[in-house]
Amino acid sequence: MRFVKRVFLLACLSLGAVACGGGAVNAPMADPGASGGSPATPPPMAATDYFKTLPSHFPKPLVPADNPLTSAKVELGRRLFYDKKLSGNGTQSCSSCHLQAKAFSDGLKNSIGSTGAVHPRNSQSLTNIAYNASFNWGNPTLTEMEMQNLQPIINTDPVELGVNDGNRATVLAHFKSNADYARRFAEAFPNQADPVTQANIVKALASFNRTLLSYRAPFDRFEAGDGSALSEAAKRGLELFESDRLECTACHGGFNFSDSTRVSGAEQPVFHNTGLYNITNSDGSMNNYPPRNQGVFEITRSVGDKGRMRAPSLRNIALTAPYNHDGSVASLSELLDNYAHGGRLVSNPTQFGDGRSNVIKDGEIHGFSLTAAEKADLIAFLESLTDMAFTTDPALADPFAP
């Protein structure tokens, strides 16, 4: 049996039947008060409705008990996600840096915030983030969607949406005075005297983000038994991806192609140094990544955490160039050269160093030989993870688009 499946089955066995059966692992789903909307409103959808089309090789995402998934919240969250009024100066929305056509990444090397601040990081795809054990490239403290979703709204370093104490009241006043929003907030958060709050905005955004589920790629049709869904090249690429020589599945295994995936709630986030940098600083410290991009080290200040990042899901990876945490790798071809080398050789003087000899690097990044034909096969496999139904799904699209 192939590794992609094996990882998931092992997870199922160790968690008992409920974890693989579906709804039982989810928190209570229906929001008891959510049916109190106007009579014209359709009955609220619960988590089971959003997750019922997932194929059998996908577990159901967890939903926290204090923020059950309802259609009122998801639809409100979708509007907020696409609305520039959610920024301090009215110029940016979440979707400015997370575009559906690019699997909710932005195509830039580094994202640029609403006040022009350059983000040290590359915008992440929001594909299947409902399964993330942690959020952002290398932050073990952001373990809930709600915790993450607040960050881009209020961040000051760098400024993203730039909501602060000086403009928050104005931002909220817009949503209060807009009749459509006022009704939607009241339906999403019934029995609250003043439902238009920053905390409720975050809950609605998180609800929408949990529905960004990608499971309709050619690879999924192949998993479901349609042998013709993958080209011969992609099938050879899959073999290589799972081979002992390449060991990609050591970190990108399972249905979501990431070892930092949460299915039962018990999983801890996992991080790796892949040898992208090996900079010796003027103070003599070694094995560094560039400033502000040192991964888990930024949080813990523990030397062994330098350069450690989460292995991202590889779903829709062909749509999310440039690659890696700082967008410093332009193409999948270049990325595979780095893995084949066993780390990246950086020759520019300010970041000079051979990542292959970074001592913090993970043992599974050991380098390998790869012919041009094999590289093409591997890329064909990665391209088979592109889910066009996801990038064109009207339920995930901009509700304000003409």
Alpha carbon distance 120, 178 (integer Å): 35
Count of residues near ligand HEC by CB under 6 A: 48
- 358 sits near ligand HEC (criterion: CB under 6 A): no
Query: Per CB under 6 A, does 364 bind ligand HEC?
Result: yes
Which range touches ligand HEC (CB under 6 A), out of 44-52, 222-230, 311-319, 341-349?
Answer: 311-319
Which residue in 211, 256, 324, 338 binds ligand HEC (CB under 6 A)?
A: 324
Residue 312 in contact with ligand HEC, rule: CB under 6 A? yes
The pair phi, psi for residue 206, each rounded to 5°, is: -60, -35
Per-residue b or e along 61-85, where b marks 16 or more CB atoms closer than 10 Å to that residue's CB = bbbbeebbbbbbbbbbbbbbbbbbe
Query: Which of 59, 53, 62 shows the shortest CA–CA distance to 20?
Result: 59
Q: Does 126 bind ligand HEC (CB under 6 A)?
A: yes
**Residue whose CB is less far from ligand HEC, 30 or 270:** 270
**Should residue 82 be labelled a site residue for ligand HEC when binding is judged by CB under 6 A?**
no
Nearer to ligand HEC, 8 or 277 (CB): 277
The residue from 67, 124, 256, 358 that contacts ligand HEC (CB under 6 A) is 124
What string of DSSP letters covers 302-361?
A: -GGGTTBB-----TTGGGS-SBSTTS-B--HHHHHHHHHHTS-EE-SGGG-EEGGG-TTS
Is residue 205 part of the contact set for ligand HEC (CB under 6 A)?
yes
- Report the SS3 class of residue 365: coil
Place of tokens 């990081």: 121
Cα–Cα distance, 329 to 343 (Å, whole number): 12
Toward ligand HEC, which CB reaches closer, 76 or 335?
335
Minimum Å gap between C-beta 231 and ligand HEC is 17
Residue 61 in contact with ligand HEC, rule: CB under 6 A: no
Closest approach of ligand HEC to the CB of residue 286, in Å = 18
- Which of 60, 306 has the CB closer to ligand HEC? 306
Stretch that binds ligand HEC, among 37-45, 47-55, 115-123, 394-402 (CB under 6 A): 115-123
Shortest reach from residue 278's CB to ligand HEC, in Å: 13
207 binds ligand HEC (CB under 6 A): no
Binding status of residue 255 toward ligand HEC by CB under 6 A: no
**From the CA atom positions of the chain, what is the Rg in Å?**
22
Residue selected from 185, 297, 323, 390 as contacting ligand HEC according to rule CB under 6 A: 323
Residue 365 found at the interface with ligand HEC (CB under 6 A):
yes
Whether 87 contacts 161, CB under 8 Å: yes
Contact (CB, 8 A) for 345 and 354 = yes
In the structure encoding, which two tokens stand for residue 311, read together? 């292995």
Phi, psi for residue 192 in degrees, rounded to 5: -110, 135
Rounded least distance, CB 32 to ligand HEC, Å? 26
If one asks whether residue 97 binds ligand HEC (CB under 6 A), the answer comes out as yes
Continuous segment of H or E residues that includes residue 250: helix 249-252
Query: What's the rounded Cα separation, in Å, for the pair 363 and 60?
Result: 32
Nearer to ligand HEC, 121 or 236 (CB): 121
Residue 20 CA to residue 46 CA, distance in Å, equals: 19
Strand, helix or coil for residue 159: strand
Would you count residue 384 as binding ligand HEC (CB under 6 A)?
A: no
Structure tokens belonging to residue 237? 């690429």
From 42-50, 170-178, 187-195, 322-330, span contacting ligand HEC (CB under 6 A): 322-330
- Phi/psi for 246 (5° steps) reads -95, -35
Q: Is residue 131 part of the contact set for ligand HEC (CB under 6 A)?
A: no
Q: Which is nearer to ligand HEC, 205 or 217 (CB)?
A: 205
Q: Largest alpha-carbon pair distance within the chain?
A: 69
CB atoms within 10 A of CB 166: 9
Q: Is 309 one of the binding residues for ligand HEC (CB under 6 A)? A: yes
- Cβ 35 to ligand HEC, closest distance in Å? 27
Q: What three-state secondary structure class fits 112? A: strand
Residues in touch with ligand HEC (CB under 6 A) = 92, 94, 96-98, 111, 113, 119, 121, 123-124, 126, 129, 132, 135-137, 148-149, 152-153, 160-161, 205, 209, 246-248, 250-252, 272, 274, 276, 309, 311-312, 314, 317, 320, 323-325, 335, 339, 362, 364-365
